[in-house]
Amino acid sequence: MLKTKDILDEKDKRLRMVSKEVSFPLTKKDKDLIDTMIKYLHDSQIEEIAEKYDLRPGMGMSAIQLGVAKRYFVVVNEIDEGEFETYVLINPKIISNSVEKIYVEMGEGCLSVNRPVEGIVPRYARVTLEAYDMEGRKIHVRGREELAICFQHELDHLNGILFVDHIDKKDPFKGKDQYRAI
């Protein structure tokens, strides 16, 4: 079982690597890693399981956060109490986005950043991604609000970027009035 301590910390230089495109068919190792990521994200959002196994709650995870520099990530989005939608996006790229930008009012979080971080991270309010599913079929996925932010956050990981990189060090709340808080 994947534990929070197995997730790379922001100090680990591997998180700054640009992940490589994945070819198909996926290896058994990649499929197993994806299943492990899904299980962690699912279980981490169920309070009793998260407490029992000391899992830090998360909605998304990129392969690079487990030291695998391949272009895929998983998002497990709770749409209702105990009801989840799972996204496995391989070789993803944004093909369209809204003009409107938003930010997480409480601040973005990351399983690799184990400290409180103040500041805003402007993100597109809506994005459409083109990616591949586990069988290598091209898919299009649209995200709005929280889901759009999560997609952009995970895509950043694939490019060696952490959310803290988007925060202005001198003025962490710079531009706050230009974007909508969610």
Catalytic annotation present for 154: yes
Catalytic residue of the set 51, 108, 118, 154: 154
- State the SS3 of 50-88: HHHHCCCCCCEEEHHHHCCCECEEEEEEEEECCEEEEEE
**Number of other residues whose CB lies within 10 A of the CB of residue 129:** 22
Q: Rounded to an integer, what is the distance from CA 124 to the centroid of its chain? A: 15
CA distance 52 to 65: 22
In this structure, what DSSP letter does residue 120 have? -
Active site residues: 154
